[in-house]
């Protein structure tokens, strides 16, 4: 039974027994708060408070957290707020600079950094061994998908990005699913090489639908990454405040997908 007292000989974190048990639940509902103006530019930001819950479970204060696809720095900001060190890699120079600016606004955040580089080269960067990885990759090229033109036009009209970038190096611009998956797995293999023994990694991802087909991206990643990291299970992030759409009504089953998989791995 959980208690509000610290856990004796806790090697992983500084949570109480009650906090530990609560986090062990395999699913949770989290509806992100409204985004600030400084992060609306990014088309697929994930929430700092969600990241902080994972960081506080899988690390102790002072340990180093890595996001190899940092975007506007949500995971890094969450790490600093939790009293951890933070390092990120981001391909898009504008996002990298925004992440740096956000870190500087945090108490002590100016000590940590964002490297503007291609995550494919992460093994060549000057990054010391890390205690935890938390990240969310592009959900393939779904920002380019047909059927969402009105949403894309609205974002463009408001001066917000529709895609992550125009770069040929951007994984979100790869049209072939197998190529995208292979390149993403290759990046995570290099990231695994930066993890300390028994360090954890959390990858937040969705299965995706395109052209009437389902591409089980989360399941493929779980299988492929198990070749070099130990899969420790998943937490399912549910959102219950999104508008339902009548996909396939009257003719076929098409779900309204309102959950993400938070896949948890551990270095050997």
The CATH number given to whatever domain includes residue 71 is 3.40.50.150
Residue-wise pLDDT for 207-258, tens only, equals 998 888 999 999 999 999 999 999 999 999 999 988 999 989 999 999 999 9
Assigned domain for 85 exists: yes
Contact between 195 and 133 (Cβ < 8 Å): yes
Assigned domain for 15 exists: no
> For the chain, which residues score pLDDT lower than 50?
39-40, 42-43, 149-150, 152-153, 155-160, 162-164
Domain span including residue 118: 44-239
Alpha-carbon span 222 to 205, nearest angstrom: 10
Assigned domain for 217 exists: yes
- Write out the two tokens for 146: 């047909």
Assigned domain for 233 exists: yes
Total domains present in the chain: 1
Assigned domain for 151 exists: yes
Assigned domain for 95 exists: yes
Alpha-carbon span 169 to 182, nearest angstrom: 14
Q: Which long-range contacts (CB under 8 A, 24 or more apart) does 106-113 make?
A: 106/77, 106/80, 106/81, 107/80, 108/80, 109/76, 109/77, 109/80, 111/85, 112/76, 112/79, 112/80, 112/85, 112/86, 112/87, 113/87, 113/88
Assigned domain for 18 exists: no
Assigned domain for 16 exists: no
């Amino acid at each position: 039974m959980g208690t509000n007292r610290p856990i004796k000989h806790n090697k992983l974190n500084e949570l109480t027994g009650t906090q530990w048990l609560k986090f062990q639940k395999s699913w949770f509902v989290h509806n992100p708060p409204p985004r600030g103006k400084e992060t609306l530019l990014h088309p697929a930001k994930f929430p700092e408070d969600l990241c902080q819950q994972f960081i506080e479970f899988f690390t102790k204060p002072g340990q180093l957290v890595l996001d190899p696809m940092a975007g506007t720095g949500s995971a890094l900001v969450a790490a600093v707020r939790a009293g951890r060190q933070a390092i990120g890699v981001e391909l898009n120079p504008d996002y990298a600079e925004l992440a740096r600016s956000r870190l500087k606004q945090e108490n002590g955040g100016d000590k940590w950094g964002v490297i503007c580089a291609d995550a494919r080269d992460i093994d060549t960067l000057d990054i010391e061994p890390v205690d935890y990885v938390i990240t969310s990759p592009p959900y393939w090229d779904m920002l380019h998908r047909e059927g969402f033109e009105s949403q894309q036009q609205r974002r463009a009209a408001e001066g917000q990005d529709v895609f992550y970038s125009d770069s040929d190096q951007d994984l979100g611009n790869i049209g072939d699913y197998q190529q995208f998956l292979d390149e993403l797995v290759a990046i995570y293999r290099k990231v695994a090489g930066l993890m300390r023994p028994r360090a954890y990694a959390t990858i937040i991802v969705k299965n995706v639908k395109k052209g009437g087909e389902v591409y089980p991206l989360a399941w493929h990643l779980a299988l492929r990454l198990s070749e070099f990291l130990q899969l420790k299970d998943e937490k399912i992030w549910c959102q219950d405040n999104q508008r339902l759409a009548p996909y396939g009504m009257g003719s076929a089953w098409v779900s309204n997908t309102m959950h993400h998989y938070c896949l948890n791995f551990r270095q050997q």
